[in-house]
Amino acid sequence: MITEEQVLEALKGVEDPELHRSVVELGMVRNIKIDNDRVELDVILTIQGCPLKVKIQEDVENAIKALGASAAIVHFGSMTDEERARVAAMIRGGGNTQPSASAPNNGTVQGHGAGLNELSPLLGAESKTQFIAVTSGKGGVGKSTVTANLAVSLARLGKKVGVIDADIYGFSIPDMMGITQRPVVINDMVLPVQRLGVKVISMGFFVEDNSPIIWRGPMLGKMLRNFFSEIHWDELDYMILDLPPGTGDVALDVHQMIPQSKEIIVTTPHPTAAFVAARAGAMAIKTNHEILGVVENMSYYVNKDGEKDPIFGSGGGEKLAQELHTEVLVQVPIGQPEPMRDEERYAPSVYQENEEIGKVYMELARTVEQKCSVKV
Ligand SMILES: Nc1ncnc2c1ncn2[C@@H]1O[C@H](COP(=O)(O)OP(=O)(O)OP(=O)(O)O)[C@@H](O)[C@H]1O
Ligand SMILES: [Mg+2]
């Protein structure tokens, strides 16, 4: 005979796919009834119409059947506002049911001249998070591609990684990483979307139907602040920021908000591209941001005969690195990720670990990790 304790124990292994906590810990399991080897129970969802209901149902049923039950019948309900508030407090507090003192402040604080470290514990003096801004002088050189792949590669090395798509007008990270969900909002807490082991936030999540955004400078600055103050990031080893092209407002905001941020400058191998990218580098130097190095993207194409063909010119990365007194971290060849059917793993711009370009990005991640662990 199956017991209630056994059912609860088994369900401790079932996670809410968005909150990444066990359904038992979150208080979602209620009303367990056992009739011989038939188990019936209620699962109370945090939000009504939770898109991942089917997944939770499957996981709960499988866990119960693994106990030897002949049938597992799941009824769904949704939490009351108070129950949701308790879950939000639990997640914020890292396990306690009381909100912790280090919890991120909500947006109401920012208008009153709050210090930056009050925006988010990530920006505080105690934070161990390494910030890396990916920048370039001009558009279309591969910043977003480098951001997405560096983030996923660091996660493959076992790191806790976040991405802020700071390209507020021209966001592309959600698409590139194959993200179709929207962030879960519990009361006033927004949880970043998790994809390929990385937590992501992008303006793209808050825009309807891909309509263009016509916003002005001050609102942009606020958006970036909101990406810290309103988002529950939890602990992170790395936060990678995908910057818009050029040296405009957002780049300046990042420099001011995150003075400890390091930078990676992306260029194509053409000497002219490197010349333009040098401006982004010069800005990093002026604002005292440490430059981790240069990523030369679209360096060459491997032709049918297996030869490296530098179709976009060569030497740009090296030239830029010299000018900025840094080094070329990697040269990324031209090529698209191999198509695959596995939706869990496939994203249009993310290379698999065992593809040639995926290996280059793993090398980049290891180099970055090594450089960030050296104290200056
Ligand atoms: N190594 C590569 N091989 C082939 N295509 C690439 C490579 N790197 C980037 N691309 C493609 O080039 C285009 C521009 O890349 P991406 O969007 O990453 O650049 P960006 O610098 O972020 O652009 P923007 O300045 O518009 O934000 C994309 O379509 C991307 O898929
Ligand atoms: Mg981009």
DSSP secondary structure string for all residues of 91-144: HHTBTBSSPPTTSPPPGGGGGGT--HHHH-GGGSTT--PEEEEEE-SSTTSSHH
- Residues 235-260: tens digit of each pLDDT: 899 999 998 887 667 777 888 888 88
297 lines ligand 1 (CB under 6 A): yes
Atom of ligand 1 nearest to the CA of 336: 4
Model confidence band, residue 200 (pLDDT cutoffs 50, 70, 90):
very high
Closest protein CA for atom 2 of ligand 1: 334
148 alpha carbon, closest ligand:
1
- 359 C-alpha to center of ligand 1: Å? 18
User: What pLDDT sits at residue 214?
Assistant: 60
> Does the structure show a pLDDT above 60 at 109?
no
* CATH architecture for residues 4-92: 2-Layer Sandwich (3.30)
Domain with CATH 3.40.50.300 in the chain: 115-373
Report the distance separating Cα 283 and Cα 254, nearest Å. 12
Domain with CATH 3.30.300.130 in the chain: 4-92
Close Cβ partners of 204 (under 8 Å, ≥ 6 residues apart): 165, 171, 172, 173, 174, 175, 210
85 lines ligand 1 (CB under 6 A): no
- 139 C-alpha to center of ligand 1: Å? 9
299 lines ligand 1 (CB under 6 A): no
User: 115-373 — its CATH code?
Assistant: 3.40.50.300
46 lines ligand 1 (CB under 6 A): no
Q: Which of 14, 23, 201, 30 is nearest to 104 (CA)?
A: 201
Helices (H), the chain: 4-11, 53-65, 81-92, 116-119, 143-156, 173-176, 217-229, 249-257, 271-286, 316-323, 356-373
143 lines ligand 1 (CB under 6 A): yes
Contact of 138 with 245, CB cutoff 8 Å: yes
Range 69-73 average pLDDT:
93
- 24 C-alpha to center of ligand 2: Å? 40
Report the distance separating Cα 66 and Cα 370, nearest Å. 44
Q: Could you give the 3-state DSSP secondary structure of residue 207?
A: coil
- Residues 287-339: tens digit of each pLDDT: 788 999 999 999 999 988 989 999 898 999 999 999 999 999 999 999 999 98
312 lines ligand 1 (CB under 6 A): no
User: What pLDDT sits at residue 276?
Assistant: 80
Is the C-alpha dihedral spanning 57, 59, 62, 64 positive or negative? negative
